[in-house]
Amino acid sequence: MTLRPIAEVGAELGLAPEDVLPWGRDRAKVSLDALGRSSRQGRMVLVSAINPTPPGEGKTTMSVALAMGLRKRGRKAVAALREPSLGPVFGVKGGGTGGGQASLEPAADINLHFTGDLHAITSAHNLLSALVDNAVYYGHPVALEGTRVRWRRAMDMNDRFLRNVIVGLGGKAHGVPRETSFDITAASEVMAILALSENLKDLEARLGRIVVAQAADGSPVRANDVNAAASMVALLKDALMPNLAQTREGGPAIVHAGPFGNIAHGCSSVVGTRLALAYADEVVTEAGFGFDLGAEKFLDIKCRSAGVWPRGVMLVVTLRALKHHGGAAADKVAEPDREALLKGFSHLEKHLESVTAFGLPAVLCVNRFPQDTEGELDELRAFAKARNVGIAVCEGFGKGGEGSLELADTVLAMLDATDAAPPKPRFLYGLDQTPEEKIRAIARTVYGADDVAFTPGARKDLETARALGGAGLPVCMAKTHLSLSDDPTKTGRPRGFTLTVREVRLSAGAGFLVALTGELLTMPGLPREPAARRVTVHPDGSITGLMQGE
């Protein structure tokens, strides 16, 4: 496969040559100045999904496939997607650039170092860590006690042994001993800040607001108090520029930022989305995990912050995931099972109800697998028809854009129907509501919970967040992606449950409260057979094994 010169890809999108800054032969940064050179306002499609089985259901593959199909229909379409993190790439999931004939390119480079954005974010995060501990050591420029430090460290790799560590050992000359933790870089507040920042000035302001500790009197100590923001921006100034790549068929793709879908808002960057909207007819973007976890945050957090709103939702489903939610065993979901499939429809129904709660139209995208039968596909088509929801079977994985034309046509029909009266923003809660009310609104409307319980620790966290000025912020829910509830074993459409919030964290720079449920980890571990073991580097320097099934 020969990739198009990146300048040619930028020219197709309409970018001026001076705005395309090559980062090697087949990838580039795009100057933030490009945002002011176009008055076009494209139509945005939000790609989401039902709750996946552990390996995922191909949401990114379907996003790329849709962009390919739209391009084959003569549309100026661009995929605006997240950057993969090294942790999942070498962990359970493998690469995050799509798959088969519907992938982003250069796939190996995007999955590994790409343009260095994640390394820059890791460095900026840990620079702040070093400056905070330096203040603990010297008592300057602000007096800090190690026990009151909230800021953790970050690393872009799954390493369970770093979940809890002790730093500062070795005597007084080496620091002040204290317990701390590592988060994966995608879970860093710096990552969330970069993804939500409008420009360099906004980036510096958000970084300066990060709460790193509490003073003895309980008042917040922020990154600005240790003089960190400007030097962090120096590390991040290139990382803030969106990345230009291409699909396997040479269409333009904006691949930028990758906040964790659990602990953060799980969306690509605001500047990347705005760039795409300014130059494309259709913008295909996605949110992390299922609609309950990713799309809700995309709409309530990212869209509220950026002042944008999608025209509609493409909800990715697979027969195997529906059967999984209908009670089929994990090792049996590839086999025909009409009873499990029909039971799984209740799970899909709940997600469609959630889409409606935001005032958006939806189409179903069926990511077809080789073992899928026409009989079961017909059952799903009948389900969609009975609810007046568009549906298309996509074979983008095996056939690229040619296998995605039905999907492109179905999505275009949905978008065309909104031209006369585009959907207006409809959020689940107002910012003037209490944090508890916001959390209940999400849990009841999107998860189907009866109520929310707050542990004593979470209630104490909420009081602290209020004291630190966080009461008026949106809420970023952190829960399992495998279930609508906070229990990963409860598949289907759980009913009669209470969601338990065990911890609340203030992300003052990113501009949201994080409500943690269940046993969610911000530093994942590697599985027994990590994806790293299947990677091969060939004599010509090419790499295989980063993607599942490769």
Residue-level pLDDT at 55? 67
CATH of 6-115+239-418, one of 1.10.3730.10, 3.30.450.20, 3.40.50.300, 3.40.50.150: 3.40.50.300
Query: What is the tens place of the pLDDT at every residue in 465-518?
Result: 999 999 999 999 999 999 999 999 999 999 999 999 999 999 999 999 999 998
Question: Residue positions in the annotated binding site?
Answer: 53-60
Mapping DSSP onto H, E and C, the string for 401-434 reads HHHHHHHHHHHHHHHHHHCCCCCCCCCCCCCCCC
pLDDT given for residue 549 in this prediction: 58
Q: Which residues are annotated as a binding site for ATP?
A: 53-60
Asked whether 392 and 285 are in contact (CB, 8 A), the reply is no
Q: Which top CATH class is 435-516?
A: alpha beta
Pairing of strands 512-517, 475-478: parallel
Confidence at residue 196, expressed as pLDDT on a 0 to 100 scale: 97
Cβ-contact 389, 341 below 8 angstroms: no
Distance CA 211, CA 201 (A): 19
> Distances in Å between the alpha carbon of 423 and those of 44, 314, 398, 485?
11, 15, 34, 28
Query: Which pTM value belongs to this model?
Result: 0.95
Q: Is domain 117-236 classified as CATH 3.40.50.150?
A: no
What's the N-to-C CA distance of the chain in angstroms? 15
Residue ranges of the chain that CATH labels 3.10.410.10: 435-516
Domain limits, CATH 3.40.50.300, in the chain: 6-115+239-418
Pairing state of beta strands 98-99 and 182-184?
unpaired
Percent of the chain with pLDDT over 90: 89
Extract the residue ranges of the chain whose pLDDT is less than 70.
55, 548-550
pLDDT at position 94: 77
Q: Where are the beta strands (DSSP E) in 368-481?
A: 390-394, 451-454, 475-478
Question: CB burial class (10 A; 0-12, 13-18, 19+) of residue 45?
Answer: buried
pLDDT at residue number 550: 60
HEC string for 218-244: CCEEEHHHHCCHHHHHHHHCCCCCCEE
